Amino acid sequence: MTAANLTIHLNAIAANWRALDALSESAVETAAVIKADAYGLGVSEVAKPLFDAGARSFFVATAEEGVKLYAAVGAKAKIYVFSGQMAYDNPLYYDFPLIPMLNSTEQVKRYLASENREGFGLQLDTGMNRLGMEADELAAALELLGDRKPELVISHLACADEPDHPMNAAQLAEFRRMTDGKGWRRSLAATGGILLGPEFHFDLCRPGIGLYGGAPFTDAEPVVTLSIPVIQTRTVKTGESVGYGAHWVAERHAVIATLAAGYADGILRATGENPPVLYAGDTPCPLVGRVSMDLLTVDVTALETVPDSLELMNRHQTVDDLANAAGTIGYEILTSLGARYKRRYSGA
């Protein structure tokens, strides 16, 4: 059985970075968020094209991810770690030039007691209540830090993908209240925040999902093509069912192709509730029946000849289309992409 092919278009990632960079003034730095193995696309392959496009600051979720990134881009880039300094990370911070975003006075103390040779950043909570320090804790942290200055101070917006949400203005005001006049380099905007406009940009923007072709950056170039081999085809008569639960029943004579990928490959089972299509060239063929662990069934009656494989994601059908079909977000589709796919990188 041939594995499904996941093609990752590195030139599209670089183009998306440039397009997002162009949305802020030239004095504003544009970084790249590449946590979770570059949103499932492969940090070792994705980091270099982003660096070549101009990204010089990268954000990861954990110190371990930072080490992997360091192997790809080396010491010329700054590597910030969102989860900050955890005790189990101390050796990595000692060995590699990683910059922890300190999230609490506990992390500040740990940083000061450790032998990190790099600087540090601070993460502030302005209303999301996930990571970072609120105003009181920040004051205590600054006292502990004394003369030491943060390289960057960030906070994160909870509702940036909803431009009219009152949280955006409230978090912006709180961020200003906590940071104005301090002389710190500041960052508030991820992909959604970049699109909210210049007052959200500060000194550095840190897009993730938009680089990888996902909403809310609707102008993004699609980054992935997923092509799934056909294992066999059969004809079914009116009234025959296809797949588990006999969920789909043919209303007419139909040709059904069975394809070699399923929910174990990250094609969420919920996708079948509001089924998308698969493409044979430009011809859409509906997904029918439930998604199985390793298999999909597709109505290919419209095709004169059935190709060796059909595409589930491409220019016609993006990660967000698939996300909508499954009732989720593009982030989850990307980070669920299966380990069995043969990953190919184009346009490096």
Ligand X SMILES: *Cc1c(COP(=O)(O)O)cnc(C)c1O
Q: Which is nearer to ligand X, 190 or 278 (CB)?
A: 190
Please report how close the Cβ of residue 192 comes to ligand X at its closest, in angstroms: 6
Q: Which of 10, 12, 13, 33 binds ligand X (CB under 6 A)?
A: 33
Quote the DSSP letter at residue 24.
S
Q: Please state, in angstroms and as integers, the Cα–Cα distance from residue 163 to each residue in 43, 48, 159, 160, 213, following that order.
A: 30, 32, 8, 6, 19
Q: Would you count residue 208 as binding ligand X (CB under 6 A)? A: yes
Which residues fall within 8 angstroms of residue 177, CB to CB, at 6 or more apart? Answer: 135
How far apart are the C-alpha atoms of 323 and 320, rounded to whole Å?
5
Binding mask 175-204 for ligand X (x = CB under 6 A): ---------------xxx------------
Closer of 99 and 285 to ligand X (Cβ): 99
In one-letter notation, the amino acid at residue 202 is F
Q: What is the smallest separation between the CB atom of 217 and ligand X, expressed in angstroms?
A: 8
| Minimum gap (Å) between residue 247 Cβ and ligand X | 34
Q: Nearest residue to ligand X, using CB? A: 208
Contact 167, 157 (CB under 8 A): yes
Shortest distance, CB of residue 14 to ligand X, whole angstroms? 16
Q: How far apart are the C-alpha atoms of 48 and 58, rounded to whole Å?
A: 11
Considering only residues 209-228, where is the footprint of ligand X by CB under 6 A?
Answer: 209-210
Marked catalytic residue, from 68, 109, 244, 345: 244
* 210 vs 289, beta carbon nearer ligand X: 210
Report how far Cα 216 is from the mean position of its chain's Cα atoms: 12
Site for ligand X in 147-176 (CB under 6 A): 156
d(CA 63, CA 90): 9
Q: H or E element: which one contains 346? A: strand 342-346
DSSP structure class, residue 270: G
Write out the catalytic residue numbers. 35, 244
Residues that bind ligand X (CB under 6 A): 33, 35, 82, 156, 190-192, 206-210
